[in-house]
Structure 1
């Protein structure tokens, strides 16, 4: 089982957004540039994130996106589910019809794995990811990035 680009990019973009919490709306163009994710792809992802009430948007000059609720209340599972990412190790999509319309002999193994993966992703929130990034990658701390951007005149 693999988590596709859609899920990975959505979580990455949301961590970037959370790192800039409280600094005003963040443009998708800025996230795109920092994270090297296509702007059009981010637009698709953020449409789904907005419809699932994980982000809110502000239109017009100075507009962008911000988290709809506190970073410690948004789990990695929330984000992945919002962008319709399937988290399924079974070959039947969890329906139990993987072998001649019956569950295959390893169906319960893969269903158990699905539960463990979901439980783990549900246990990790955006704030933990931001804190971990700051701990293991100090130059990613928002204050430092904001200083660099102000010096370069780049948007937040």
Structure 2
């Protein structure tokens, strides 16, 4: 599973909106999240359609969260924007895609473990967890250089 820029930018926007109780103009969201306004408009419209944000028109218009940060589950957001969390179609719960080698495949247990680990982490993480810096990297995890 790879999160596209759409998923990343949507999460950036949700984090920013979660940090502010008032309506934020789209230009300000764009500036603070480093997301181009035109692309951000599309993403925010999708988030609005999914029920995560609401918009206000007019001179003091912009966007605000529709749900509380505790109600926004990161796994649900990613699935709705990106599709299945499984790394391979043969282990997808929602978009299963059979493989002719599946019965003898020695990789399937690995793909299943990856799917379950990613799914469990994302389904147990809310926007509020991110806002309160509740995500920590365990000691001994691989670090990027």
Taking structure 2 as the reference length, the TM-score comes to 0.77
What is the Cα-based RMSD across aligned positions, in Å? 2.2
Q: Distance in 2 between matches of 1:62 and 1:90?
A: 45
* Offset, 1:87: 2.1
Match of residue 119 from structure 1:
120
Aligned length: 130
1:18 maps onto 2:18 in alignment: yes
The alpha carbon displacement at 1:5 in A equals 1.5
Gaps of 5+ in 2: 135-145
Distance in structure 2 (CA, Å) of the matches to 1:93 and 1:29: 41
> Which runs of 4 or more aligned residues in structure 1 lie more than 6 Å from their structure 2 counterparts after TM superposition?
none
**Contact 1:96–1:103, Cα closer than 8 Å, also in 2:** no
Q: 2:75 aligns with which of 69, 74, 77?
A: 77
Structure-to-structure mapping, 1:6-155, within 5 angstroms: 6-20=6-20, 22=21, 24-92=22-90, 94=92, 95-99=96-100, 102=102, 105=105, 106-132=107-133
Distance, in Å, in 2 between the alignment partners of 1:7 and 1:93 is 22
Question: Where does the alignment leave 5 or more consecutive residues of structure 1 unmatched?
Answer: 134-156
Q: Which has the higher helix share?
A: 1
Following superposition, the deviation at residue 92 of structure 1 comes to 4.9
